[in-house]
Amino acid sequence: MNDDAVSVAPEVYKVLFENDRVRVLEVRADPGGTSPMHTHPDSVIHALSDATLIVTSQQGEARTAEVTAGATWWAAETTHSVENVGTGEVHLIRIELK
């Protein structure tokens, strides 16, 4: 099974740049948009929009994530699914470390 984000949800994840050290993804999802279970390596994320997301772990634990436009944060390697439960489009840049 290929659990790469771009493979499982190409309508959400677009590769902007990739080399042997990093991959830069643009992440966009309309309200109600989902991304099925997938994996990301260690990453830095920058929010271009406010968003409310339900993030569900591989173990089935769901949490609400409130994202503020302009925020930047570290995200350790993870496997999860995501749903945009907010009223606007989710727009993020995710820099995955290889």
For the stretch 46-89, pLDDT in tens is 999 999 999 999 999 999 999 999 999 999 999 999 999 999 99
Contact present, 52 and 65 (Cβ < 8 Å): yes
Per-residue pLDDT at 93: 98
Contact present, 91 and 43 (Cβ < 8 Å): no
Q: What are the structural domain ranges in the chain?
A: 5-97
For tokens 């390596």, name the residue. Answer: 41
Mean pLDDT of 17-25: 98
| High-pLDDT (> 90) share of the chain, % | 98
User: What pTM does this model have?
Assistant: 0.94
Q: In CATH, what class is 5-97?
A: mainly beta
The H or E element that residue 78 is part of is strand 78-84
